[in-house]
Amino acid sequence: MRVMVIVKATRNSEAGILPSEKMFAEMLAFNEELVKAGIMQNGDGLKPSSAGKRVRFTGDGGPKTVFDGPFAETKELIAGFWLWTVKDMKEAVDWVRRCPDPMPGEESEIEIRPFYEAEDFGAALTPELRAKEQQLRALGEQQQKH
């Protein structure tokens, strides 16, 4: 099972306050455990929303509107993420429980969301579309290696 583990933004992360050396060391040690256990595929921190953009789609094919950050609702923003492969949601929760506090001194949340897998799409993902999707994944992985 693949999951995205989402570190929710806080007032401090949105203010651009960087983690301390101690926090970096603790998180690197945790990431090392994840890698050695074969769990972690990827992960990174994100800059504050003030460095970002949003693109709004109208739903009717009309023009798209671009908005500059920062964005108001901190609790809806993402400060960082991991991509993990786990046996099940319980294993993901168990790993998150071992995680160092991602936002020391502030209340924070980590959200765990499973990825859709090919079988979740049923008949809508025809054999032809599945083959094309697998081909694109392989090409993307190949390009990342270069």
Using CA atoms, how far residue 99 sits from 7, 20, 29, 52, 92, in Å, is 11, 16, 10, 27, 11
Burial class (CB in 10 A: 0-12, 13-18, 19+), 95: buried
Per-domain residue ranges of the chain: 2-115, 121-146
Where do we find the tokens 């083959």? Answer: 131
Considering the segment(s) 2-115 as one domain, its CATH architecture is 2-Layer Sandwich (3.30)
pLDDT tens for the chain, residues 1 to 146: 999 999 999 999 999 999 999 999 999 999 999 999 999 999 999 999 999 999 999 999 999 999 999 998 777 899 999 999 999 999 999 999 999 999 999 999 999 999 998 888 888 989 899 899 889 988 888 888 87
**What whole-number distance in Å separates Cα of residue 71 and Cα of residue 77?**
8
